Every structure is written in C-alpha cells, then in structure tokens.
Structure 1
Amino acid sequence: MPPHDGAGDSVDWQTGERAWGAGFPQDYKEFVATYGDGEVDAFLTFLVPEWAESAVPSGAMAEETAEARRMWREKPPVGYGSPATPPVIAWGMNARGDLLCWVTSERDSGRWPVAVWSRGSLAWHVHGCGMLEYLVRLFRGEFDDMWADDGVRRFVHVREAQRLLAAGIDPDTGEPNPYAGMFGPLPGPAQGD
C-alpha cells in the first residue's frame, strides 16, 4: 500500500499524548507520519488524534472513542470486565460501522492489542497484536475475507480526496466523477481562480 505524494500528517505527539492521557504506540505514530488521516479502498478509515485548545480530545477520534467506550460498558468482551472508564481508544472504523480500537490496559502502548467492535455481531473481538500487524493480517484475509484477494491497497489522504473532488475526479477510483458539479460549483481553485 504505497503512500501517495502529500500523504502523512505531522502531529505534536507530546501535546497530543498529554491531551489524550496515553502514549500512542510507535507503529501508529509511524503510520500517521507516512499515511495520516485518510482511508483505504473507500472502506477503512484511519483516525488521527486532535485536541481542543483546552487540551481536551476532540474530532473524529474523540467521537469514535466515546462510542467505543459506550459499547464497551454495555457489552464488554469476555474476560475484560466493565471498568468505570473503558480502556479503549478508537484508531479506525470501516464502512460497515465497525470500530477499530486499542485496549489500553497495559502501561506499555507497544503491547496494546487491537479490539474491534463489530456492528454485525454486536460483539467485541480482541486480537493479540498491534495495529500494523492487525492491518497486515486483515489485508491478507485472516480476519475478514473481503480483503483476501491480496491486491494492492489504495490509500487516499483526506487532503488528496478533497483536491481530487475539486478537480472533478472520484478519489476512490481515480476516474472522472460522474456527479461532479451536479449540485453546484465545485469547491476550491479548480473553478478558474
């Protein structure tokens, strides 16, 4: 899954980790620096930590983490109990509405397993591996047969998706967007600035 030009995000990890109250795993930090905020094959979306000026978690990662914690309280995975503050942080989601999280019980973030809240089975599935190992195994079809074709994955950063949309190109296919301009002028400098 090669990153495209302009992919990757720069994050002030020290401030972010203070805001989130957790030290993020190194493989995740490297993933964010290489790929960043975006999605794979118009299906799997990655979340990047954000925080408000008051050093409070905000944005999509905070919203999905709140949802994951709610689901953890309602139906914790077997063997994990139901603590007052569920030990999960969401790092991704897919088009089926499943939440991809870390179980943050361990002090060492390099040992955080991946937990997936499946909306289909309404259950948690905890995998004894970190984010990158989980992704490799996912893309090999070990966890979900939709990924079993071993094809090259296409990652598109949100900035690139916005640029392509403004140019009338579907970011998921790279082809002309048949709906471009259908609902008014396209945003951005592509309109003849």
Structure 2
Amino acid sequence: MILGPEPKAPTMQFDGMLEETANAEDTWQDAFKAPELEGASPLLITWGVTASADLMCWDAASDDPAEWPVLVFNRGEIQFDRYNCGMAAFLTGVLREDFPKCPLSDVTLWGRGEASFQKSRR
C-alpha cells in the first residue's frame, strides 16, 4: 500500500505515513543494515508498506527530494537495504524483476510486469 501524505501534527489515524515512519525509525535501531548503510543516520519517511509488514522509505536527508534514495526494511531478513532510485523507479523495478532478488519479503508484485492502481476507500 502506498501511504498518503499527512501533516506533521498529531492525528487520530494509526496506520498512515506518520505512524509507519515512527515504526521505521524504531526498527532502524535494531535491524541489520546493508554494508553501505552501516553508520548511516537517515531521515526516514515511510511511503509504503506490504502485507508482510515490509517498510518502504525515503532517506530524506538531502534538501533535494529528487535525490532521496529508497530504503527498504525487509521484515523476512530483518534488514534495511538502499536502492539508489526514486519511488516510481523502485516500484517499476519490483514489477519488472530489475533487481538481483526481490527487495521485499512479500513477493506478490515481484515480476508481474505491470499493475493497476486503485484508490483506497478511506
């Protein structure tokens, strides 16, 4: 699921971008990290989650959003990995199997080729 943007203010919603970003920040502390992420202190913004509780985030440390790489917490591997692309390129890469292995523990979209997007009913 792609999470909708939210204002950085208290909210009654418990499954949106703010809540999942807090989950990613907590998870970062104890998770394994790919070698290029060791010692890193990313500014995480979670933009997506999977049915397997994987977290897809931006590292928003740069002032330029066009330079924000995707960081993925793969719940099955308990590890964060970095993908030097934006959200759209990452999702396209998952659909087209453009990565050496599926970056997510949920393989529902892996290699599907294409997908349709539906608006949430919230």
TM-score with structure 2 setting the length = 0.78
Q: Is the 8 A contact 1:73 1:82 kept in 2?
A: no
Q: Is the 8 A contact 1:116 1:125 kept in 2?
A: yes
Per the alignment, residue 153 of structure 1 pairs with 115
**What are the equivalent positions in structure 2 for 1:30-109 lying under 5 Å apart?**
45-51=1-7, 56=9, 58=11, 59=13, 60-75=16-31, 77=33, 78-80=35-37, 81=39, 83=41, 86-109=42-65
Q: Which runs of 4+ in 1 moved over 6 A?
A: none
Cα deviation digits, residues 63-118 of structure 1 (max 9, x gap)? 100000111122363343254xx511100011111000001121211100001001
> Counterparts of 2:32 and 2:25 in 1: how far apart (Å)?
9
Aligned length: 110
> Counterparts of 1:96 and 1:75 in 2: how far apart (Å)?
16
TM-score with structure 1 setting the length = 0.51
Q: Is the 8 A contact 2:32 2:78 kept in 1?
A: no
* Structure having the higher Rg: 1
**What are the equivalent positions in structure 2 for 1:11-22 lying under 5 Å apart?**
none
Per the alignment, residue 131 of structure 1 pairs with 87
- Are the structure 2 counterparts of residues 57 and 72 from structure 1 closer, same or farther at C-alpha, using a change threshold of 3 Å? farther
Q: Which amino acid aligns with 2:111?
A: A
Q: In percent, how many aligned pairs have the same letter? A: 34
In structure 1, list runs of 5 or more residues that go unmatched: 1-44, 163-193
- Deviation at residue 124 of structure 1 after TM alignment: 0.5
The structure with the largest helix share of the pair is 1
> Counterparts of 1:87 and 1:57 in 2: how far apart (Å)?
19
In structure 2, list runs of 5 or more residues that go unmatched: none
Secondary structure, counterpart of 1:154 in structure 2:
coil
Per the alignment, residue 68 of structure 2 pairs with 112
- Deviation at residue 154 of structure 1 after TM alignment: 2.4
Root-mean-square deviation (Å):
2.1
- Are the structure 2 counterparts of residues 65 and 57 from structure 1 closer, same or farther at C-alpha, using a change threshold of 3 Å? farther
> Counterparts of 2:30 and 2:43 in 1: how far apart (Å)?
13
